Structure 1
Amino acid sequence: MSISKKVLSKVQLVDGVFIPSEASEVISRLIREKINFHKLNRLSMCEENVSSYSGYDDSRVTELIEKRKEFKAICIEAKLTGKKIKINGVLEIEVID
């Protein structure tokens, strides 16, 4: 299978300099939404088939939770040292084969 990549659209989700508490709020909310997406997706699959296997791969949720913890530590360090945090988050949308 060949994969043809062409970026069709870019969305600048976040672009700015924030005090640590603001940065923590922005990133925590983005990560929380992504975690909820995965959890709801898993729940939806289980509802469609009540006899389905419920041991789905939670590695992405686990990874996101770890990243959230790492980012909170960065925010604490920035706050303690009186620094700000720059966040640049771009979402690239592609159509693939």
Structure 2
Amino acid sequence: MQELQIELIDGNFTPSDAMEIITSVLDKKMNFHKLQRLAKTERDHADPCTFENERIAALQSEKDKAIAFLGPMINKGENVSIKSKIDIIKN
């Protein structure tokens, strides 16, 4: 089995910058699933796209949590630390 690790985010940020980074990543991932859903429905109008819809909802929920967590910290002179790693594993 082969594995690759990518250090995506590793640093200290203002809450405003952290929110921009996190919401941008989550928005990009949601857009990916929306495009997948569109491609599926163009091939088969009856496809319920269950996985895509559930994943979009889950990502939106995570985005809402990040906004609720970081929002109150903005303009208070606090910083946050973010660490994010992506593990890619060849099956």
Q: Taking every aligned residue pair, what percent have the same amino acid on both sides?
A: 27
In 1: Cα distance, 2:37 partner to 2:55 partner:
12
Equivalent residues in 2 for 1:36-55, closer than 5 Å: 36-49=31-44, 52-55=45-48
Indicate conservation of the 8 Å contact 1:7/1:92, yes or no.
no
Aligned residues: 89
Is 1:89–2:60 an aligned residue pair?
Answer: no
Structure 2 length as normaliser, TM-score?
Answer: 0.87
Aligned to 1:17: 12
Pick aligned residue for 2:28 from 21, 24, 33:
33
Bigger Rg, structure 1 or 2: 1
In 2: Cα distance, 1:30 partner to 1:94 partner:
21
Runs of 4+ in 1 over 3 A off after TM superposition: none
What 5-or-longer segments of structure 2 have no aligned partner? Answer: none
Is 1:56–2:54 an aligned residue pair?
Answer: no
Indicate conservation of the 8 Å contact 2:13/2:79, yes or no.
yes
- The alignment's C-alpha RMSD in Å is 1.6
In 2: Cα distance, 1:84 partner to 1:95 partner:
36
Higher helix share: 2
Structure 1 length as normaliser, TM-score?
Answer: 0.82
What 5-or-longer segments of structure 1 have no aligned partner? Answer: 1-5
